[in-house]
Amino acid sequence: MGVFERYLTVWVGLGMAAGVGLGLATPGLFQALAALEFAQVNLVVAVFIWVMIVPMMVQIDFASVRAVGRKPRGLVLTLVVNWLIKPFTMAALAVLFFEHVFAPWVDPATASEYIAGMILLGVAPCTAMVFVWSQLTKGDAAYTLVQVSVNDLVMVLAFAPIAAFLLGVTEVVVPWSTLLLSTVLYVVLPLLAGAVLRRLWLGQGGAALLAQRVAALKPAAVAGLIATVVLLFGLQAPTLVSRPLHIVLIAVPLVLQSYGIFAITYFAAQRLRLPYNLAAPASLIGTSNFFELAVAVAISLFGLQSGAALATVVGVLVEVPVMLSLVALANRTQHWFGTAEPSTS
Q: What is the pLDDT of residues 84-136, one digit of tens each?
A: 999 999 999 999 999 999 999 999 888 988 999 999 899 888 777 788 888 88
- Classify residue 341 as left (phi > 0), alpha (psi -120 to 50) or beta: beta
Q: In angstroms, rounded to a whole number, what is the distance separating the alpha carbons of residues 110 and 196?
A: 49
Q: In angstroms, rounded to a whole number, what is the distance separating the alpha carbons of residues 39 and 164?
A: 21
3-state DSSP assignment of residue 35 = coil
CATH class of 3-331: mainly alpha
Q: What is the pTM of this model?
A: 0.77
- In the chain, the amino acid numbered 92 is A
Q: Encode pLDDT of 296-343 as tens digits.
A: 778 767 766 678 878 887 887 788 889 989 999 999 999 888 655 555
Q: Where are the domains of the chain?
A: 3-331
Neighbouring residues of 169: CB distance < 8 A, sequence distance ≥ 6: 301
Q: In angstroms, rounded to a whole number, what is the distance separating the alpha carbons of residues 151 and 282?
A: 11
Q: In angstroms, rounded to a whole number, what is the distance separating the alpha carbons of residues 91 and 228?
A: 28
Neighbouring residues of 1: CB distance < 8 A, sequence distance ≥ 6: none
265: nearest Cα among 130, 78, 93, 131: 78
| Contact present, 125 and 79 (Cβ < 8 Å) | no
